[in-house]
Structure 1
């Protein structure tokens, strides 16, 4: 009797094949997300490094804005663009006379800037964390799917014993083998998903901390500029 994995799956019942197909779909989806996230975080990291260098080397905010437009993949650049755009709106409103140019009013407009920066920060965090839920679902669900296949295979083995009236290896081996393969497949899909989910979650946290730090520096820079001009 050939008990290779391929032979086991070829001779498995409809339920066993369905379970393996579901696990295969989870596996393909999770690995596709892993590759996509690796590329996304790598590009974001490189873009962020280049943007931060360009930002601190810029003489004016407009110069920094032009640099930020070249690094759209950087979360810090996206946050800065949102803040700079809000500053331009505030400046336009003040120039048109809609807002008095007092120190109190200028400091009050900082609330609008902070909200714009915070909103961009949240959107970037959501973008970086997108699709990680699929990895979390894969890591938590596939072991139970494999376990269901295990139970089903054992049930098939007992059914074969009852039909043939024998508990020989030839009778129980196919069902037991199918059950063990389902268990192994479930774990093989779940373990990488859990590992990479934790890895990417840590990367998201690192980016979030970096963006939070940059946002604080950016807002402090604007507030110091307002106080200097007062």
Structure 2
């Protein structure tokens, strides 16, 4: 009988629940890691290609068409739509200076794009910070369960203690194995999201200057 099979058979309900929880956390973390790695790579390529293509266009209409073909994650197009949108008359959104209205719309669109990029970061941070403690709890409970079982038999020897305790320590190792990839991915993705955020903020700032600048609103009215 293999070591894992023996550990699973000898484990009680609490230890098995902890092991299954660590397995679920590991699967969730790796799904998010692969998905976000693909998403952020695509987003970075899209931003690098779409922003220069937009500013190289001869008109806003042409620029919008170029974004539609290059902005696969929908990060840049909402910013352009927000910059060109005119709020309904008589609403609070239309009150205040035009520049302030423009800034608010661009800020809201930027936050929506960033939420898309940051999705899954909280899960990685939560797994990275809690998995070691979940594993440690499993180890403590496993040792307690093993000692109670050995004590009930009436004979306590180092041979009988070493095996169950050693198997219980696997839970701590499992917790670390789950946490370390999640923490590393969280840090790497945080840096990539920060780079995309800087590019999006720059694009939003340039859109604001284009629309709010002299003659800017007249040149974009037809496109809106």
Residue 163 (structure 1) aligns with:
152
CA contact (8 A) 1:128 1:204 kept: yes
Is the CA contact (8 Å cut-off) linking 1:147 and 1:183 kept in structure 2?
A: yes
The RMSD of aligned alpha carbons is 2.5
Cα deviation digits, residues 38-92 of structure 1 (max 9, x gap): 11111111211221121121111111112122224152333123223x1xx37x9
**Does the 8 Å CA contact 1:132/1:197 hold for their aligned counterparts?**
yes
Match in the other structure for 1:200: 189
For the structure 1 residues 190 and 228, does the alpha-carbon distance in structure 2 shift closer, same or farther, using more than 3 Å as the test?
Answer: closer
Aligned to 1:75, the other structure's residue is in SS state coil
Q: 5 Å matches for 1:19-34? A: 19-34=18-33
For 1:37 and 1:205, how far apart are their aligned partners in 2? 14
The answer on whether the counterparts of 2:211 and 2:217 sit within 8 Å (CA) in structure 1 is no
| C-alpha distance in 1 between matches for 2:153 and 2:216 | 90
1:104 paired residue number: none
- Could you tell me whether the CA contact under 8 Å between 1:8 and 1:174 is conserved in 2? no
2:76 and 2:44 mapped to 1: Cα distance?
Answer: 10
Counterpart Cα distance in 2 of 1:228 and 1:169: 83
Distance 2:134 2:48 in 1: 42
Unaligned runs of 5+ in 2: 91-95, 219-224
- Give the match for residue 6 of structure 2: 7
Q: Distance in 2 between matches of 1:228 and 1:181?
A: 65
- The answer for the alignment partner of 1:187 in structure 2 is 176
Q: Which runs of 5+ in 1 are unaligned?
A: 99-106
CA gap of 1:11–1:228, structure 2 versus 1, over 3 A, is: closer
170, 173, 178: which one aligns with 2:167: 178
Please tell me whether the aligned partners of residues 9 and 17 of structure 1 are also in contact (alpha carbons under 8 angstroms): yes
Q: Normalising to structure 1: TM-score of the pair?
A: 0.82
* Counterpart Cα distance in 1 of 2:52 and 2:178: 41
1:228/1:14 Cα in 2 relative to 1: closer, same or farther (>3 Å)? Answer: closer
> Are the counterparts in 1 of residues 76 and 200 from structure 2 also a CA contact under 8 Å?
yes
